[in-house]
Amino acid sequence: VALCVAARAANVVYVVTDDQDQMLGSGFPAETTPLRKTKALLADQGVTLVNAFAHVPLCNPSRACTLTGKFFHNIKATGRPQNAAHVRMDAVHDRSFAVDFAAAGYATGLFGKYANAMPRGFVPRGWDSWMAHGNDGTYLGPTFQTKNVE
């Protein structure tokens, strides 16, 4: 009798932060590294993307590229209002990596800032749990859209 143990997929925690630039004192050397405890718990004991680059150094376009894996020219909006910083958000909302992770059996969740242009009245496909806010200019006490969060 052969004993088989199914391989368990690794947990994935993907952390993205904004405005961690050197000019704001949020870079290196180590004494100015932001979120030192978080870095020690997550990055130092996990995987880091040491050769990753933001294709577009603006908040919403960068987030959209990261969520979809697409270069900016593939999701760029033209001739539209600029509240999403030139991003076609319909090309982002239901096409993020969460869709692929959910299809592979992962539980997915997004907690924090999603994008500058929030979806209206729905949570994008692929997210099991959701507690997100956009760029309404309120960083102290913002309002959140929620799904499966108590």
Question: What residues are annotated to the active site?
Answer: 59
Structure tokens of 41? 């718990």
CA distance readout (Å), 125 to 106, 130, 131: 14, 11, 14
User: Got the DSSP string for 11-24?
Assistant: P------S---GGG
> CB neighbours of 112 closer than 8 A, spacing ≥ 6?
131, 132, 133
Q: With contact defined as beta carbons under 8 Å apart, do 55 and 65 qualify?
A: yes
> Kind of pairing, strands 145-147 and 129-133?
antiparallel
The helix (H) or strand (E) run that includes residue 132 is: strand 129-133
Cα separation, 101 vs 41, in Å, equals 23
